Amino acid sequence: MTFPARQLYTVPLPGYGMLRLGDRCLLMGILNVTPDSFADSGLHLDPDDAVASALQMEADGADVIDIGGESTRPGADPVSADEELSRVMPVLNGLHGRLGVPISIDTSKADVARAAIDAGAAMVNDVSGLRHDPSLAGVVARTGAALIVMHTRGSSKTMYAEADYGDVVAEVIDELRGSVRTALEAGVPVERLIVDPGVGFAKRPSHSYGVLARLSEVASAFDRPVLAGPSRKSFLREAVGGRPAPQRDWGTAAAVTAAVLAGAHIVRVHAVAEMAQVVRVAEEIRRHQP
Which is the catalytic residue, given 109, 233, 248, 286? 233
Radius of gyration for the chain, computed over Cα atoms and rounded to the nearest angstrom = 17
Query: What do you get for the CA distance between the two ends of the chain, in Å?
Result: 8
Strand order in the sheet with 103-106: 193-196, 146-150, 123-126, 103-106, 64-68, 26-32, 266-269, 227-228
Contacts of residue 139, defined as CB under 8 A and 6 or more positions apart, other chains included, come to 110, 113, 114, 117, 124, 145
Contacts of 241 (CB under 8 A, 6+ apart): none
| Burial of 179 from C-beta contacts in 10 A (0-12 / 13-18 / 19+) | buried
Q: How many CB atoms lie within 10 A of CB 23?
A: 10
* Cβ neighbours around 12 below 10 Å, total: 15
Q: For this structure, is 268 an active site residue?
A: yes
Q: What is the dihedral of CA 71, 233, 196, 115, to 10 degrees?
A: 20
Q: What would the 3-class secondary structure string for 36-52 be?
A: CCCCCCCCCCCHHHHHH
Count CA atoms closer than 13 A to 123's CA, side-chain side: 30
Active-site choice (268, 280, 286, 287)? 268
Q: Are 286 and 274 in contact (CB under 8 A)?
A: no
Does 286 participate in catalysis according to the annotation?
no
Cα angle 275, 120, 142; round to 5: 115
Alpha-carbon gap, residue 72 to 117, rounded angstroms: 21
Indicate which residues carry an active-site annotation.
233, 268
